Amino acid sequence: MDTAIVRVQRFHPETDRRPRLERYSVPLTSDTTVLDALHWIKTEVDGSLTFRRSCRHAICGSCAMNVNGRNVLVCKTSLAREVGKGRPVTIRPLPYLPVIKDLVVDRSSFWEQYLRVKPWLVPPEQAPAKEFRMLPEEVAALQNAETCILCGACYSACQVVGLTKEYIGPHALLKAFLRVLDPRDTLPGERLAEVSGHDGAFRCHTIFNCIEACPKGLNPTQAIETLRLLAQKRERFEAERRDRLSQWAKAGSAP
C-alpha cells in the first residue's frame, strides 16, 4: 500500500513551550481524506492527537484546519490531491486563533462576533395567515448565504482578524448580510448601523481570503460590499423594508 508523509502541528499547553511539527507516514489510497489520515494517526500511532471532527459530510463545520497553507474542511479534502502537490502534507490549526491543544483552536472571538450581529431572524409580530412567500429575485439576492456552516475557515483566513479581534469578521458580516436582505426581517436598519461601525464592514481590506477559504463557495467579500452600499442608504432601505412587510400584512400572503 502507498504511504504519504504527513506533518502535523502538535502542541500540549502543559508540556510544550511552542508548537512543533511531527512527521507521520500514513496509508494512502485514492479515497483517503486528510481527516482519515488524522484518524489513522490517532488510532494507530498516538492517541493523544487532538482535533475536532463530527459529521464527516462537510456540513457540521467542526474540522476546519489549515492544510498546506490553505484553510479547508479536512473531511472533504483528498490526501492524494495534497500529496500530488509535491511536498509533505502539512496540517496546522486554523491561523490567527489561540491554540488550545494540537489542532484545536479557541473560537471564542468567532462566536462573540457572531452574536454581535444578532444572527437570528426577527420577523414581524403578525405573521401572514399562510406563509411568508419570497419572490425568486429576493431569494437569489441572498446568494446562498444561508448555507454557511460556520466552520471558521473564512474568519481565520482574514488578515484583519489577525490584526484585531475587534473586527466583526467575514462570517458574521455574511450572516448580517443574509438577515438584512431577508425581506421577512424587521431590523435591517439596526443591523446596518451595527455593521457600519468602525469594526464592521468598512474595516474590511478587501483581501479576498474569505472567498478563497470558504469550503462552501460563498462570497463574504461581495456580502460586505453590499452591506457597505446599503449602510450608506440605510433610511431608504428601511422604508423599502417597511413597505415590503406591509404588503404581507395587507395580503396575508405574497402580494
Partner 1 sequence: MYRSSGFISFFLRRLTGVALVLYLGAHLWVIGSATQGPAVFDARLAAVQSPFFKLAEIALLGAVWYHAFDGVRLLLVNWFRVTSYRASLLYTALVMTVLLTVMGGLPILLFLLEG
- Interface with partner 1 (CB under 8 A): 66, 69, 71, 95-96, 156-159, 162, 205-209, 211-213, 219, 221-222, 225, 228
C-alpha 222/C-alpha 231 separation (Å) is 14
Task: Please say which residue, 30 or 206, places its beta carbon nearer to partner 1.
Answer: 206
C-alpha 173/C-alpha 19 separation (Å) is 31
Nearest CA to 183 among 104, 123, 111? 123
State in angstroms the smallest separation of the CB of 69 from partner 1.
6
- Grid coordinates given for 185: 426581517
State in angstroms the smallest separation of the CB of 93 from partner 1.
12
C-alpha 70/C-alpha 42 separation (Å) is 22
CB distance 194 to 179 below 8 Å: no
Give me the amino acid identity at 138: E
State in angstroms the smallest separation of the CB of 222 from partner 1.
5
Task: Please say which residue, 128 or 220, places its beta carbon nearer to partner 1.
Answer: 220
Task: Please say which residue, 41 or 173, places its beta carbon nearer to partner 1.
Answer: 173
Task: Please say which residue, 34 or 157, places its beta carbon nearer to partner 1.
Answer: 157
Nearest CA to 194 among 125, 117, 119? 117
Nearest CA to 92 among 156, 31, 169, 48? 156
Task: Please say which residue, 171 or 184, places its beta carbon nearer to partner 1.
Answer: 171
State in angstroms the smallest separation of the CB of 65 from partner 1.
13
Task: Please say which residue, 119 or 162, places its beta carbon nearer to partner 1.
Answer: 162
State in angstroms the smallest separation of the CB of 225 from partner 1.
6
C-alpha 24/C-alpha 49 separation (Å) is 12
State in angstroms the smallest separation of the CB of 152 from partner 1.
13
C-alpha 23/C-alpha 12 separation (Å) is 16
